[in-house]
Amino acid sequence: MKQLYTVGHSIYKMDDFISLLKNNSINTIVDVRSTPYSKFASQYNREALKNHLKENKICYIYMGDSLGARYEDKNLLFDDGKVDFKKVQEIKSFQDGIVRLEKGIIKGYNISLMCSEKEAFDCHRFGLISEFLTKNSIDVKHIYPDKILPQTMLEKQLLKKYDKKLPKADLFNPNVTEALQLQLAYELRNRDIAYNSITKEGDY
């Protein structure tokens, strides 16, 4: 099965971040930040990061222009101005980005997507990109300093978080499946974390 990782750079010291990658045999970082710069950890600004990775024989590829989460196009937004992940997944640039990732996996690169959020659950790399990859038969795992969490584990967390808001199968609703609950839970997470084009806040 095809496999891919994700990681958040958070405010890790660069040496610790490099060790995290090496410990998981990552040789390619795909930066999915719409804006590849950090206010709180300048070592992760695009140029500096690229140089640090190169010194450690890790390839850096910027793909925030196709796999980022910040959009202003009204056709890709909910009514409240937040980015609608499902609509983003349908556009050509996003799908081209996914194809590029798949080609890299097939060529043998051990890839990790990278964004800024430490917690994948709070980031579009989980709710937008990994959700799409998983549906397309790519096994996604999320890297933390002390553990590796598969996408399926975060999906269980997702269902638990939104349990009270999800429909349940009963006598009157026999067609409510876990797949439907998961789909609705992803949308609820989308609305909670997405970038808002009006307020300019949220995931990027």
Query: 3-state class of 112 per DSSP?
Result: strand
pTM of the model: 0.95
Q: What is the tally of structural domains in the chain?
A: 1
- For 141-174, the pLDDT digits (tens) are 999 999 999 999 999 999 999 999 999 988 777 8
Residue 161's alpha-carbon distances to 152, 154, 182, in angstroms, are 14, 10, 11
With respect to residue 199, please indicate whether it lies within any of the assigned structural domains: no
With respect to residue 204, please indicate whether it lies within any of the assigned structural domains: no
CATH number, domain with residue 180: 3.90.190
DSSP-derived secondary structure letter, 164: G
Buried b (16+ CB within 10 A) or exposed e, 152-183: eebbeebbeebeeebeeeeeeeeeeeeeebbe
- For 84-112, the pLDDT digits (tens) are 999 999 999 999 999 999 999 999 999 99
With respect to residue 202, please indicate whether it lies within any of the assigned structural domains: no
What amino acid occupies position 176?
Answer: V
Residue 159's alpha-carbon distances to 55, 143, 188, 192, in angstroms, are 41, 21, 10, 14
With respect to residue 51, please indicate whether it lies within any of the assigned structural domains: yes
Average pLDDT over residues 40-60: 97
- For 15-27, the pLDDT digits (tens) are 999 999 999 999 9
